[in-house]
Structure 1
Amino acid sequence: MELKRSDLHDYQDYCVEFVENHPEAMLILQMGLGKTIISLTAIWDLMFDSFDVHKTLVIAPLRVARDVWPEEKDLWTHTKDIQMSVIIGSCKERVRALRADADVYVVNRENVKWLSDWLEQHKIPWPFDCVVVDELSSFKNYKSQRYKALRKARPHIKRIWGLTGTPASNGLLDLWGEVAIIDQGKRLGRFIGRYRESFFRPGGMNPYTGVVYNYVPLPGAEEAIYKKIGDISVSMKAKDFLPDLPKCLTVNHTVEMSPEEKKLYDELKKELVLTIDGNEVDAANAAVLSGRLLEMANGAVYNENHEVIRIHDRKLEMLSDLIEEAVGQNVLIAYWYQHDRSRIIEYLKEKEITVRDLKTSEDVSDWNAGKIPVALISPASAGHGLNLQHGGHILIWFSLCWSLEMRQQTDARLNRQGQTEVVTIHNIVTKDTIDEDVLKALEDKNSTQENLIRAVQARLK
């Protein structure tokens, strides 16, 4: 179903107008509030209504650049005609995408330096008069190559805005680099040293070498810093300025299996039995088949000996991206199968992200005290009775389940009295699988065993 511009929320229209009226801007909004469509709408207006912009560059994390921006563009009637070229892949593919005739060019942040160097090597002036930095917090390190490349191009950029959920997740020092990319040092100073001197004092120092380990904000520094950047920011707290925000938002994120992975899924669905590397997976009836297909949508499945057979990592990749996009805000992950839990822990460990189960009263206390950045919860064992609203406001459903009661009870762990933030619930959905049936059944509030069987039968037909 295509969405129309009239479907934008009031707060989204507010943000579009803000960006259009501010050549330098920061949209500091929580996850799931539609920063992408806000930006696409503003780009459309600036390029085809006011003709203030001629060529736009979007810088984003790899998956977001590859999937989210093109998909979001095509969802809306007023943006689907924007010609978009995604600059990813091999060097040859990136050059081809860069040379394509398009309105908006999307590049992953790792290739910003390559883009700058390629243009310079071929003696091509910086061609983008508008730049959108998706996840501005990834430019907080002013010593990184991507930062230096974009800062070098900054004088040639007419309009720029950054998108982020939390600009200072690791402290107020992070803000200098992010703001300097946007305003070229006008508000917080051109140099990090002057910024530190103005708003911080040394917190820890080696008495022999004089090396400072960390800096502590001076009294009133936070308020002073926010006041200085207030004119280019939508808000530091969206709820304070946008009273029409809903108390709970649900956002769906679609992932897609490769043709080879989808072939395995379709074979089990059709034949009720599947052999993978000598391991047999079978389904005796529709209910069992439903479970097997849900497992495969998640990325793994048990064989006849209850051993885990890996299928894909699509949901794990999306989960990692969503945690990164949370930028230091605590995240609660709901899983269904034990192999989901094991794979989540293993995968995130490789990304140097520590995960902790919420099982004991001590775990719950630590979560509510903000001591657990990423936590795991099983709806089957912890969906009722836990008060988790003080520890965070972001819930990610890695595994979808048919039980409407468990779903509502788990959502209510965060979305309950005492919650001070807008709760964002993320569903990770594998395209063209039973995940979509589960989601529809939950939306229709008809997640019964009968509906489960009907959905599987419909898939079989």
Structure 2
Amino acid sequence: MRYKPHQYQEYATARILDTQYIALLLEMGLGKTVSTLTAIDQLLNDYYEAERVLVIAPLRVADDTWARETAKWDHLRHLRISKVLGGVDARRRALKAEADIWVINRENVEWLVGEYGSKWPFDMVVVDESSSFKNPQAKRFKALRRVRPFIRRLVALTGTPAPNSLMDLWPQVYLLDQGERLGKTITGFRDRYFTAASRSGHVVYEWRQKREAEERIYEAISDIAVSMKAADWLELPERIDRTVSIRMSGAAAELYKRLEKELLLEYVDADVVAQTAAVLSNKLRQMASGAVYDEDRGVKPIHDAKLDALEDIIEAAQGKPVMVFYDFKHSLSRIQQRFPQARTLRKGKDGTEDIRAWNADEIPLLLLHPKSAGHGLNLQESSCQTVVWFDQIWSLEEDQQANARVHRQGQTRSIVVMRLVAEGTMDEEAVAALESKAAGQDALMEAVKARIERVRSG
């Protein structure tokens, strides 16, 4: 296929060429992979400013997206990709292969650094979804930090640079400039831009950003960060968000209220116990979706109301493919039992074939977990116009990334995103948190605490 870049893609490519260390904060659907590959090709073959390029990505993206993009575009087909995946022996063979770009999953970064140490061979590194390096205590961050002085060019790609808070930015920016803009340590960064909101002695449990901290931080990194929103550049078809209210049976609603109030459901063979606010939230979301795990990891059925609603949605789709997101394994099992035609994405080459089959409308019902469908999957070529959230989640990043699998560049049809929300349950709190863009662990805890207070005072 002939590449006809949008203006913003030309700009993104030019910025990579002009800036040694750069973050492209491009929202989903803006084609950051092909923009980056175009720059890599020029750096390798026109400017001779790169010799060995490493791409670090989520596993499914490493296995599929980068190789598929090079094969897709005429001007990139000469680039040789070596996938450093699989067992240790397979990875070592891949590292020795003749290639232009080596692609590795982020879980193996620590191993890769251990293999080379100070003899690090990659002069250019691309971190696809750099937000996965947001934890300064994580082994993958510490490993990449060790070899950062040997990297002459680094590109950080993400659509959600601060999925939880501005605190997530420090590690990602440090990998770019080794502390020049936001400080050499996370402690110094916190002291400059945040205040302790709650603490016990020397232990701080919650940080609150200072006034104008966001503006000051983005101003500090503006020379090495390019931020683009899809709405500013693309005329995407309409996305319609709908909440489908689900009414549980009287017996199911009674069980839900009892667990919410007493934190314990007694069964003959095993009890369902919620010992903390986070556990309680999970149990209540499970019950809202129709089943709940007991203390022995057995599944206790609660209701089939969401399965019935999904059946109605599939029927209304009139044969067009439907995409469903689930969060719990028992939801997956129950959906598969009700709808034998449902498929999930497999791993490796089988997963690549599944993506092809979905885009060719050969899969009528695709079941995805938002964590595994979050990055790099291009699923917009099917005729699917219906996306269903069977289970409701708290993560704004996962929600945005998952919905962007079909509502992205290349989509020509309007998309309806339906959320199955059980009335009077934690589903409502989770959806409200997403809508307020305050989703995350803090919102979860506040919602649970508020709900417990209402239940106890009621």
TM-score range, shorter-chain basis?
A: 0.5 to 0.7
The corresponding residue for 2:236 is 248
What CA distance in whole angstroms lies between the structure 2 residues aligned with 1:317 and 1:411?
14
* TM-score under structure 2 length normalisation: 0.59
Structure-2 change in CA distance of 1:50 and 1:183 (3 Å): same
Secondary structure of 1:410's aligned partner: strand
Structure-2 change in CA distance of 1:373 and 1:132 (3 Å): closer
Q: Per-residue deviation at 1:320?
A: 3.6
What CA distance in whole angstroms lies between the structure 2 residues aligned with 1:232 and 1:22?
7
What CA distance in whole angstroms lies between the structure 2 residues aligned with 1:145 and 1:374?
22
Q: Are the aligned partners of 1:300 and 1:311 in contact in 2 as well (CA < 8 Å)?
A: no
Q: Per-residue deviation at 1:35?
A: 0.7
Secondary structure of 2:39's aligned partner: helix
Which residue of 127, 132, 136 corresponds with 1:138?
Answer: 132
Q: Per-residue deviation at 1:292?
A: 8.2
1:149 aligns with 2:143: yes
The CA deviation string for residues 262-298 of structure 1, in whole angstroms up to 9 with x for no partner, is xxxxxxxxxxxxxxxxxxxxxxxxxx9x988958999
Matches within 5 A, 1:279-290: none
Q: Are the aligned partners of 1:135 and 1:325 in contact in 2 as well (CA < 8 Å)?
A: no
The CA deviation string for residues 325-371 of structure 1, in whole angstroms up to 9 with x for no partner, is 79xxxxxx9757xxx86xx64xxxxxxxx449xxxxxxxxxxxxxx9
Which residue of 210, 213, 218 corresponds with 2:210?
Answer: 218
Structure-2 change in CA distance of 1:101 and 1:232 (3 Å): same
Secondary structure of 1:32's aligned partner: coil
Which residue of 87, 96, 99 corresponds with 2:96?
Answer: 99
Secondary structure of 2:78's aligned partner: coil
The corresponding residue for 1:233 is 225
The corresponding residue for 1:421 is none
1:117 aligns with 2:114: yes
What CA distance in whole angstroms lies between the structure 1 residues aligned with 2:96 and 2:191?
45
1:162 aligns with 2:150: no
- Over 6 Å off, 4+ runs: 290-293, 295-303, 371-375
The corresponding residue for 1:31 is 28
Q: Per-residue deviation at 1:323?
A: 3.5
Q: Are the aligned partners of 1:300 and 1:310 in contact in 2 as well (CA < 8 Å)?
A: no
The CA deviation string for residues 387-411 of structure 1, in whole angstroms up to 9 with x for no partner, is xxxxx79845789xxxx9xx64738
1:176 aligns with 2:170: yes
Secondary structure of 1:27's aligned partner: strand
The corresponding residue for 1:51 is 48
AA aligned opposite 1:169? P
Structure-2 change in CA distance of 1:325 and 1:186 (3 Å): farther
What CA distance in whole angstroms lies between the structure 1 residues aligned with 2:339 and 2:418?
33
What CA distance in whole angstroms lies between the structure 2 residues aligned with 1:102 and 1:373?
33
Q: Per-residue deviation at 1:147?
A: 0.5
Structure-2 change in CA distance of 1:154 and 1:411 (3 Å): same
What CA distance in whole angstroms lies between the structure 1 residues aligned with 2:342 and 2:92?
35
Q: Per-residue deviation at 1:43?
A: 0.2
What CA distance in whole angstroms lies between the structure 2 residues aligned with 1:195 and 1:221?
11
Q: Per-residue deviation at 1:246?
A: 1.8
The corresponding residue for 1:198 is 192
Structure-2 change in CA distance of 1:316 and 1:64 (3 Å): farther
What CA distance in whole angstroms lies between the structure 1 residues aligned with 2:230 and 2:345?
35
Which residue of 20, 38, 42 corresponds with 1:41?
Answer: 38
Secondary structure of 2:165's aligned partner: coil
Structure-2 change in CA distance of 1:394 and 1:106 (3 Å): closer
Secondary structure of 2:221's aligned partner: helix
Q: Are the aligned partners of 2:10 and 2:35 in contact in 1 as well (CA < 8 Å)?
A: yes
Secondary structure of 1:64's aligned partner: helix
Secondary structure of 1:223's aligned partner: helix
Cα RMSD (Å) of the superposition? 3.9
Count the aligned residue pairs. Answer: 308
Q: Per-residue deviation at 1:222?
A: 1.0
The corresponding residue for 2:82 is 85
Q: Are the aligned partners of 1:26 and 1:233 in contact in 2 as well (CA < 8 Å)?
A: yes
Q: Per-residue deviation at 1:232?
A: 0.3
Report which structure shows greater RCO (CA 8 Å, sep ≥6): 2
What CA distance in whole angstroms lies between the structure 2 residues aligned with 1:302 and 1:193?
46
Structure-2 change in CA distance of 1:119 and 1:411 (3 Å): same
AA aligned opposite 1:115? L
Structure-2 change in CA distance of 1:218 and 1:355 (3 Å): closer
Q: Are the aligned partners of 1:300 and 1:309 in contact in 2 as well (CA < 8 Å)?
A: no
What CA distance in whole angstroms lies between the structure 2 residues aligned with 1:204 and 1:325?
38
Q: Per-residue deviation at 1:73?
A: 0.8
Structure 1, unpaired ranges of 5+: 252-287, 327-332, 346-353, 357-370, 376-391, 414-461
1:187 aligns with 2:193: no
What CA distance in whole angstroms lies between the structure 2 residues aligned with 1:308 and 1:150?
44
Structure-2 change in CA distance of 1:155 and 1:306 (3 Å): closer
AA aligned opposite 1:143? Q
Q: Are the aligned partners of 1:335 and 1:397 in contact in 2 as well (CA < 8 Å)?
A: no
AA aligned opposite 2:159? G
Matches within 5 A, 1:356-375: none
Structure-2 change in CA distance of 1:176 and 1:408 (3 Å): closer
Structure-2 change in CA distance of 1:108 and 1:306 (3 Å): closer
* TM-score under structure 1 length normalisation: 0.59
Q: Per-residue deviation at 1:210?
A: 3.0
Structure-2 change in CA distance of 1:36 and 1:250 (3 Å): farther
Structure-2 change in CA distance of 1:127 and 1:394 (3 Å): closer
What CA distance in whole angstroms lies between the structure 2 residues aligned with 1:189 and 1:306?
54
Q: Per-residue deviation at 1:316?
A: 3.8
Structure 2, unpaired ranges of 5+: 240-314, 326-331, 347-365, 378-383, 420-458
Percent sequence identity is 36
Q: Per-residue deviation at 1:302?
A: 9.9
